Amino acid sequence: MSIKDCLGIQDEELVKKSLENIDYFACIYERYEKKLIRYILRISSFSYHEAEEVLQEAFVRVWRNLNEFDESLKFSSWVYRIVHNTTITEWRKTQSKGKDRKQDIDDELYKNLPSNLNIEKELGRKIDADGIKRVLDLMPEKYRSVLILKFLEEKDYNEISDILKKPTGTVGTLINRAKKSFNQIADKENITFTV
C-alpha cells in the first residue's frame, strides 16, 4: 500500500480501515510523523533521535488503543494527547535519572512559525525565533505546553482541552497565565526581541 492510496481519506475512516488492515496504519503514521516529532521536540529536552523513540512508543500505544478511539473526539487531538502523555512520562524518567538538560531544539522549528500566527500580538511584543526558544526553555512545563499547542501547533481551545484533558475554561486560564509568565520571564531574564 502506498501513501497515495490514503490521500483524501479522513482520519476517522483511516482508523476504521486500520482496524481491518494494518497497512492503513502506516498512512496514519506518515500523516502525523513530522508534526508530532516537532511537537515532542518543542515540549521536551529530547534530541531528535530520542524524540523519534518517544514517537515510536507513542504509536505503539496508539495502535494498542485504536479500538477504544472515541469517535466524538477529533482523531488528531486523541493522537496528540497520547504523544503528549508519552513525552511527559519519558521526560520525567530522564529527569529522575539526573539527565537534566536544556532544550536543544533545531532552530528551524521556531524560525518556520506558521505565517498566520500572531503570537507577537497575543504576547504584546515583537519576538524572534531565538527569543521564543529561550523563554520557552525557562517556562514551567504546564505553561510551555499550552503555549506550544495554541501558538505553534495552532490548536483551538477545544483541541487543547482534549489533548490535555482539562476543561476549556481551564485552558483559557492557563493560556492567559502562560502569556503573563512568558512576558515576566522575558523581562526578568532581560531577553530582548528584535523588531
Q: Give the total residue count for the chain.
A: 195
* One domain, residues 148 and 95: no
Enclosing domain of residue 121: 107-195
* One domain, residues 136 and 60: no
Model confidence band, residue 101 (pLDDT cutoffs 50, 70, 90) = very low
Q: Does the pLDDT of residue 103 top 60, yes or no?
A: no
The last residue of a domain, from among 104, 137, 157: 104
Q: Does the pLDDT of residue 125 top 70, yes or no?
A: no
- pTM of the predicted protein model: 0.76
**Cell numbers at 155, concatenated:** 490548536
Distance CA 15, CA 75 (A): 9
Does any domain span residue 1? no
Model confidence band, residue 3 (pLDDT cutoffs 50, 70, 90) = low
* One domain, residues 99 and 111: no
Counts for the chain of helices (H) and strands (E), in that order: 10, 0
**Sole residue written with cell 496508539:** 62
Q: What is the helix, strand, coil percentage profile of the chain, to 5?
A: 70, 0, 30
Map residue 16 onto helix, strand or coil: helix
User: For the chain, how many structural domains are there in total?
Assistant: 2
- Cβ atoms < 10 Å from Cβ of 5: 13
